[in-house]
Structure 1
Amino acid sequence: MTLADCGRVSEIRIRGWQSAYRGLMPQPYLDALSVAEDSERRRARFHGGDTRVVNLVAERDGEIVGWAAHGPYRDGEVRTSDSELYAIYIDPAHVGSGIGRALLEEAVQQCAPMHARMFLWVLEENVRARRFYERAGFRADGAEEPFDVDGVAVPEVRYVKDLTS
């Protein structure tokens, strides 16, 4: 990902939230998400130069259609020796076309030489995403985390994949 990609990545991320989380999060919260604000934050992080976070983009016919980010697993404020898939979002018009699978496979491939496991967090009620991760070899490990969106509990569950096999 380059600095020039930040705007499109933010658009994919926000539209992805609004599409994937409809009915799982309060609609006013989803409606209020701003591509411009997300893009500004993304550019600031990009300028911050955190080399621990790897941002991947997927292109089709010269257009960015997907984004994923991975790095060290975050246990609170502590980074561990495991890896974490922080995010993966696909332009809603391209969901189901194999782009998500390709991004996930690339993230796993990049992490496998350096990490024994990859973790990720997914909304408990996001059945489609959970099936996607399970088909890719991830399994829920029993950890749960509360996530509050505008006063509504939206719990997340943790998934893990062994990268040593």
Structure 2
Amino acid sequence: MTTAHGDSGGPAIRAAAIEDVPAIAALVDRMWRTTYADLVDDSFWATVPMTFWAAEVRSHLCVAPTALVAVEGDDVVGWVCSGPARSEQIDIPRARSRELYTLYVGAPGHGLGQHLLDAALPNDEPAELWVFEANLAAQRFYRRNGFTPEGSRHVYLPETAALPEIRMVR
């Protein structure tokens, strides 16, 4: 699958491959440091090395039927994956059969996130996702795409970051 984003020949969207893991992990790390720096203690960064993000990315590649990257030249500038809902892993029954596992964009606000979401969950497919309670920008994006909070909460990385997440569904 290769598609162009936007009319201006923006980033190409293609299937993610195992070779992309280091670049995706670097994107995730960079976005976490940018987006969540004020939400986690400085000691968090010492407990979550790049190998943690790489393991997370590999685990998504193993289970996600839809795992895509957006690339500009050799640079990974976006990452999305979706698949069967996994809510049972946190002892909360799933709300939908499909889940958006992750969506990261290196430069938010330029439409790439929308292209990746549409590629991962086409035709407004019913799905669930978990988003950090404090990430209001992401919640606004998901609301524009038909997702609404349904009341479930849990804490992501309770031992290190303790970030509350809410579940949104459409």
- Residues 94-121 of structure 1, C-alpha deviation per residue, up to 9 Å, x if partnerless? 2212111111111111883xxxx20000
Could you tell me how far apart the structure 2 residues matched to 1:2 and 1:148 are? 26
- SS of 2:31's equivalent? helix
What is the percentage of aligned positions where both structures have the same residue?
Answer: 29
- SS of 2:77's equivalent? strand
Please tell me the residue identity of whatever aligns with 2:120.
A
Q: Would the aligned equivalents of 1:59 and 1:66 in 2 still touch at CA under 8 Å?
A: yes
Partner of 1:95: 108
Q: Would the aligned equivalents of 1:18 and 1:31 in 2 still touch at CA under 8 Å?
A: no
> Structure 2 stretches of 5 or more lacking a match?
1-15
Could you tell me how far apart the structure 1 residues matched to 2:124 and 2:25 are? 24
- Residues 23-64 of structure 1, C-alpha deviation per residue, up to 9 Å, x if partnerless? 122232135432244335645775xx44x4421101224422
Pair 1:159 & 2:168 matched = yes
Could you tell me how far apart the structure 2 residues matched to 1:29 and 1:21 are? 11
Q: Would the aligned equivalents of 2:67 and 2:120 in 1 still touch at CA under 8 Å?
A: no
- SS of 2:127's equivalent? strand
Q: Would the aligned equivalents of 1:25 and 1:149 in 2 still touch at CA under 8 Å?
A: no
Please tell me the residue identity of whatever aligns with 1:97.
H
- Residues 143-165 of structure 1, C-alpha deviation per residue, up to 9 Å, x if partnerless? 1113354466421110011xxxx
Could you tell me how far apart the structure 2 residues matched to 1:34 and 1:76 are? 27
Partner of 1:26: 41
CA gap 1:20/1:53 in 2 versus in 1, 3 angstroms = farther
TM-score, normalised via structure 1 length: 0.77
- SS of 1:155's equivalent? strand
Could you tell me how far apart the structure 2 residues matched to 1:39 and 1:153 are? 20
Could you tell me how far apart the structure 2 residues matched to 1:153 and 1:43 are? 23
Could you tell me how far apart the structure 2 residues matched to 1:70 and 1:85 are? 4
Could you tell me how far apart the structure 1 residues matched to 2:48 and 2:60 are? 18
- SS of 1:85's equivalent? strand
Partner of 1:106: 119
> Structure 1 stretches of 5 or more lacking a match?
none
CA gap 1:111/1:53 in 2 versus in 1, 3 angstroms = farther
- Say what the alpha-carbon RMSD is for the aligned residues: 2.7
CA gap 1:41/1:126 in 2 versus in 1, 3 angstroms = closer
Pair 1:71 & 2:86 matched = no
TM-score, normalised via structure 2 length: 0.75
CA gap 1:81/1:158 in 2 versus in 1, 3 angstroms = closer
Partner of 2:153: 144
Residue 72 of structure 1: how far off its partner (Å): 0.5
